[in-house]
Amino acid sequence: MKIRKSGIHQLYSSNPEEADWVLWGRKVDPLTRRGFLRNSGYAAMAAAVGASIPFAHLMPGGLIPAAFAQSDNEFELPGKDGLVVLNDRPINAETPPWLLDDDITPASRLFVRNNGIPPVADGIDPEAWVLEIGGESCVDPQQFTVAQLKERFQHHTYQLVLECGGNGRSEFNPPAKGNQWSTGAVGCPTWTGVRLRDVLEACGIASDAVYIGYYAADTHLSGDPGKHPISRGVPMRKALEDETLIAWAMNGEPIPLLHGYPLRLVCGGWPASTSGKWLNKVVVRNQVHDGEKMGGSSYRVPCKPVAPGTSVPEEDMCIIEAMPVKSLVTFPRSGLSHPLADPLLVRGHAWAGDVSVVEVQLSIDFGATWIKANLSAPANRLAWQRWQAELLLPQKGYYEIWARAADSDGRSQPMVMPAWNPKGYLNNACHRVAVQAV
* Greater model confidence, 237 or 123: 237
Tens digits of per-residue pLDDT, 270-282?
999 999 999 999 9
Q: Is the pLDDT of residue 27 over 90?
A: no
pLDDT at site 152: 97
Mean pLDDT of 351-368: 97
Q: How many CB atoms lie within 10 A of CB 124?
A: 14
Q: What percent of the chain has pLDDT over 90?
A: 71
Q: Which domain, by its residues, includes 60?
A: 3-64
Q: Is the pLDDT of residue 2 over 60?
A: no
Number of residues written out for the chain:
438
pLDDT at site 70: 57
Q: How many CB atoms lie within 10 A of CB 129?
A: 20
Average predicted confidence (pLDDT) for the chain: 90
Q: In whole angstroms, what is the distance from residue 328 CA to residue 161 CA?
A: 13
Domain check: are 310 and 337 in the same one? no
Structural domain contains residue 97: no
Mean pLDDT of 265-272: 98
Q: Is the Cβ–Cβ distance between 230 and 277 less than 8 Å? A: no
Structural domain contains residue 355: yes
pLDDT at site 33: 56
pLDDT at site 81: 87
pLDDT at site 15: 72
Residue 419 bridge partners (DSSP): none
Domain check: are 38 and 115 in the same one? no
Domain check: are 363 and 272 in the same one? no
Mean pLDDT of 169-180: 89
* List of residues 6+ apart from 266 with CB closer than 8 A: 160, 162, 191, 193, 243, 244, 245, 246, 247, 275
Query: Alpha-carbon dihedral of residues 96, 244, 324, 276, nearest 10 degrees?
Result: -60
Mean pLDDT of 382-390: 98
Tens digits of per-residue pLDDT, 197-223?
999 999 999 999 999 999 999 999 888
In the chain, how many domains are there?
3
pLDDT interval class at 175 (50, 70, 90): confident
Structural domain contains residue 411: yes
Rg (CA), the chain: 23
Q: How far is Cα of residue 138 from the mean position of the Cα atoms in its chain? A: 32
pLDDT interval class at 229 (50, 70, 90): very high
pLDDT at site 373: 98
Q: Is the pLDDT of residue 4 over 70?
A: no
Structural domain contains residue 303: yes
pLDDT at site 29: 66
pLDDT interval class at 36 (50, 70, 90): low
Structural domain contains residue 95: no
pLDDT at site 351: 98
Question: Which CA distances in Å does 250 have to 18, 107, 118, 208, 379?
Answer: 46, 8, 17, 34, 16
Question: Considering the entire predicted model, what is its pTM?
Answer: 0.87
* Greater model confidence, 57 or 127: 127
Write the CATH number for 361. Answer: 2.60.40.650
Residue type, 433: V
How does strand 397-407 pair with strand 317-319? unpaired
pLDDT interval class at 28 (50, 70, 90): low
Q: Is the pLDDT of residue 283 over 70?
A: yes
Write the CATH number for 232. Answer: 3.90.420.10
Domain check: are 330 and 313 in the same one? no
